[in-house]
Structure 1
Amino acid sequence: MMSPAKVIERVTKENESYNRTKVVTIESICANSAVIKAEYKQNITHLDSGEFVIPAICAWNKGLYHGYMALGGAKNISIKELACAARGDGCCVFQANWTETLSIFKRIRAAISLFESN
């Protein structure tokens, strides 16, 4: 099992590899926080181009990081959107914070219980 910081690195890499609409980078990362930036490629944010960013996409990105961080053992997770392409900013910027990490055994148990409940 990975630490929350490693989870963020992995999810960011996967997020970018599955999206052709944006470039996702980690602006900063430390033991209990990270800043993630999603820059949409030209004209993706404009309605007239046929492709656009809506607030639901931003919520999906926040949920993606929150969920995987929880599986990585993070507790007291907070993800705030500092900039939003859907609101007219040049890109989306997310600030992720967490306060503690579960032991590897508790992380495994939490992951198993998550899948058992579904």
Structure 2
Amino acid sequence: MITMLAIALAAADAEGIRRLLHTAVVTVVDSGGATGDAPTGVLHGPDAAAAALQHSAVSAAVTTASVNAAPGIVIRHQGRITAVVCANTRAGQIVELWIIRNPEKLRRWDRS
């Protein structure tokens, strides 16, 4: 499921992203207060989740990686990690998403 999400994100395929999301998906965006114009906080529904994901991946390199010992996505802008995404799935759809954009938390990722 994460691989399909990464492919859809890399292709900027909004409909492909939405198809993977449950209608009641809950997304938590941790920006650490550094939001700019990005969505932040707890978001509900596939449209909000897709928008937050796409905002994080504009003009970015999208790859899969192990995140907390589970499949996840790493998003890089100009070689620098700007977001890490993890998800919970149920019955073939993503029901929970976490988008980590908090610069303090991402510093550890940029060192590895």
By the TM > 0.5 criterion, same fold? no
Question: Which of the pair is proportionally richer in helix?
Answer: 1
Q: TM-score, normalising length from structure 2?
A: 0.30
| Structure 1 or 2: more strand by fraction | 2
Under a length normalisation based on structure 1, what TM-score does the superposition of the two structures give? 0.29
Point out the structure with max Rg over C-alpha. 1
User: Which structure has more RCO (C-alpha within 8 Å, separation ≥ 6)?
Assistant: 2
